[in-house]
Amino acid sequence: MRACIFGCQGTRLSKDEKTFFAEAQPWGFILFGRNCESEAQIEALCADLREAVGRHAPILIDEEGGRVSRLRPLGGRIGPKAEIFAKSALSPEDTRAAVRANYAAIGARLASMGIDVDCAPVLDLPAKDADPIIGDRAFSTDPAITASLGQACLEGLNDGGVSGIIKHIPGHGRADVDSHKALPVVSASQDELQAHDFLPFAALKDAPMAMTGHVIYKTFDPDNAATCSSIMIKEVIRGRIGFDGLLMSDDLDMKALRGRLTARTEAALAAGCDVVLQCNGVLDDMQEVAKAAPILRGEALRRAMAARTKASVNAFSRHEAEAQADAWMARIDGGRV
């Protein structure tokens, strides 16, 4: 297994993709809207991806609900934006139950198609003057509420048979630009970040997987985004926050990072990421990343294997999970909360 996660081009694998994946042996795969035509087609694609590498490789998708949903073109239940839960008048206990039910329904739908990892929850705490890329994807600006609802999200996904990924560690909420487009710089002091932004991640440090943020935290490392910063990964993410699960980069294709994909891959792995995520599905780009990404070994392999053992067998059927989630949403949307 190689220290990378790849996308693919379309709704079916080409002969060249099958050959490449068989040779490269990426740890896992990620799906996007371009790969999603119908639930039956997605299930077949997942099977083909795993057949190409000869094992039950993890298959990821960004299915947060709200505006980040790769399944939206298919119709069916998507789930609301994250902020709706904490803004309701439900009690804290009921809010957690509603979040858990929502993500159990999302997880059960994904699991029914063969997808077993969801890139959620978002634990970022959006600042008032920040770029809106996080915005309503976040549960709250309050660290304690975000941690509580983030844990409920992980539990719900697990109920549905899917593992979650906490993101974007150590916190993207203050970012002044969208890291898809440019490199954000956060100037907050180390004390401010420790007392606020890092808290939800520290509370969920036992999560199986986390995704880095392509953000410079100027008071820690003024030169490198967290993804490519050994200071941020070793001293902050592994040290202060205490996260010991599988750490993956955010997408290497994002414009926050500079240089060729080879350099980006090498920098992220040298800094301490266990695996890199490269999403565009372009064969030449994937070949470049594969040449720079080593076979998983040592601590990275241990974490990768541990991450694969933490998702449960479906606790609920998809029908049951969606019925429970819809019942909670009826209370929220019906004005009784």
CA proximity to 249, closest of 22, 79, 27, 53 = 27
User: What is the C-alpha separation between 8 and 18, in angstroms, rounded?
Assistant: 10
Contacting residues for 217 by C-beta, under 8 A, at least 6 apart: 170, 186, 188, 193, 226, 232, 236
Q: Which domains does the chain have, with CATH numbers?
A: 2-333 (3.20.20.300)
| Residues 63-101: b if buried by 16+ CB within 10 A, e if exposed | bbbbebbbbeebeebbbbbbbbbbebebeeebbbbbbbb
Averaged pLDDT, 259-276: 98
Can you read off the two tokens belonging to residue 213? 């943020």
313 pLDDT tier (thresholds 50, 70, 90): low
Task: Report which of 275, 265, 324, 329 is spatially closest to residue 298, judged by C-alpha positions.
Answer: 275
Q: Return the structure tokens found at 251.
A: 């997408």
What pLDDT was estimated at residue 337? 37
Q: What is the pLDDT of residues 199-233, one digit of tens each?
A: 999 999 999 999 999 999 999 999 999 999 999 99
Neighbours of 185 (CB within 10 A): 15
**Helix, strand and coil percent figures for the chain, each rounded to 5:** 45, 15, 40
- Cα–Cα distance between 280 and 286 in angstroms, integer? 8
The predicted-structure confidence for 172-194, as pLDDT tens digits, reads as follows 999 999 899 899 999 999 999 99
Give the pair of three-digit tokens for residue 186: 């956060």
Contact 243, 198 (CB under 8 A): no
Hey, which residues are catalytic here?
180, 250
138-147, 275-284, 306-315: least confident range: 306-315
Nearest one of 212, 240, 217 to 227, comparing CA atoms: 212
Residue 317 CB: number of other CB atoms within 10 A?
12
CB-based contact 213:201 (threshold 8 Å): no
In the numeric block, which tokens belong to residue 38? 């119908």
Distances (CA, A) of 198 to 76, 163, 177, 195, 238: 35, 22, 19, 7, 12
Three-state SS at 159: helix
With residue 337 as reference, give the H or E element that holds it: none
Average model confidence (pLDDT) across the chain: 95
3-class DSSP assignment, residue 154: helix
pLDDT reported for residue 309: 67
DSSP helix/strand/coil, 255: coil
User: Residue 50 is encoded by which pair of tokens?
Assistant: 């795993």
- Nearest CA among 294, 306, 304, 245 for reference residue 269: 294
pLDDT at 308: 83
Residue 183 corresponds to which amino acid? L
d(CA 236, CA 39): 40
The position carrying tokens 């933490």 is: 310
pLDDT tens profile 102-160: 999 999 999 999 999 999 999 999 999 899 999 999 999 999 999 999 999 999 999 99
pLDDT at 316: 72
